[in-house]
Amino acid sequence: MFAQLLILSANTLLGASFKIAGRCSQGLSSSRFLSYQLKEFLRAKMESDALAWGDKLVLRGLSFHGFHGAKPEERKLGQKFVVDIDAWMDLAAAGKTDHLSDTVSYTAIYDIAKEILEGTPHNLLESVAQKIAITTLTNHKEILAVRVKVGKPHVAVRGPVEYLGVEIYRRRSDLSG
């Protein structure tokens, strides 16, 4: 992990030096541009560190019946979906106080997944996972990032599978874009 961060840091700084030359020719001072790049790099690194080493809520094996899919039979008959969610946030206060008000209740995140999986059909699992992630981040400002995995255990393929699905990561910073 440390080696990956070091390589990322070197690549980011190398990329910044190439951008400086381009920005200076566009009239931006190299010091202002470098300051901006450094701030962005540090913000991204802190967010990355929080995800790698930070606390998280963990929801595993959530199971729902929904009508998502691009095929007509999926929309008509429905099928089982399995969901795993990780929600990164600081859990230190809750660990010290033992008060639910110092964390986000698992049931609040479960309810988001349930409403989306059992609600309006989507063609793609990517869209289902995205909606769960964005709704979780929007409704719970304390959460820095989420990982959502949505799988179909009973999918028509030629061969044995546990499930097929998608896994996405969304950060709070993704909401502004």
Is 6 a member of any domain? yes
- The end-to-end CA distance of the chain, in Å, is 27
Q: Is the pLDDT of residue 1 over 60?
A: no
Residue 62 belongs to domain spanning? 56-174
Q: What is the CATH number of the domain that holds 158?
A: 3.30.1130.10
Catalytic residue among 56, 131, 149, 152: 152
Catalytic residue flag (residue 152): yes
pLDDT tens digits, one per residue of 18-73: 444 444 445 556 667 666 677 667 666 655 665 666 899 999 999 999 999 999 99
Same domain, 132 and 166: yes
Same domain, 76 and 156: yes
Is 24 a member of any domain? no
Same domain, 40 and 97: no
Q: How many domains does the chain have?
A: 2
Do residues 62 and 110 make contact, with C-beta atoms less than 8 angstroms apart?
Answer: yes
Cα 22 to chain centroid, rounded: 33
**Mean pLDDT, the chain, whole residue set:** 83
Same domain, 10 and 96: no
**Does an H or E element contain 16, and which?**
helix 2-25
Confidence of residue 177 (pLDDT cuts 50, 70, 90): low
Same domain, 65 and 140: yes
Mean pLDDT of all residues in 74-92: 95
pLDDT at 164: 93
Do residues 79 and 66 make contact, with C-beta atoms less than 8 angstroms apart?
Answer: yes
Same domain, 144 and 170: yes
pLDDT at 14: 44
Same domain, 116 and 137: yes
Mean pLDDT of all residues in 82-93: 97
DSSP letters, 65-84, are EE--SSSHHHHHH-EEEEEE
Same domain, 34 and 71: no
Is 22 a member of any domain? no
Mean pLDDT of all residues in 91-111: 97
Same domain, 2 and 80: no
Same domain, 82 and 122: yes
CA 148 – CA 136 distance, rounded (Å): 10
Mean pLDDT of all residues in 102-108: 97
Is 23 a member of any domain? no
Same domain, 66 and 124: yes
pLDDT tens digits, one per residue of 142-172: 999 999 999 999 888 888 889 899 999 999 9
Q: Is the pLDDT of residue 11 over 60?
A: no
Nearest residue to 91 via CA among 48, 57, 134: 57
Residue with tokens 């304390």: 142
User: Which residues make beta-bridge pairs with 151?
Assistant: 82, 165
Same domain, 132 and 144: yes
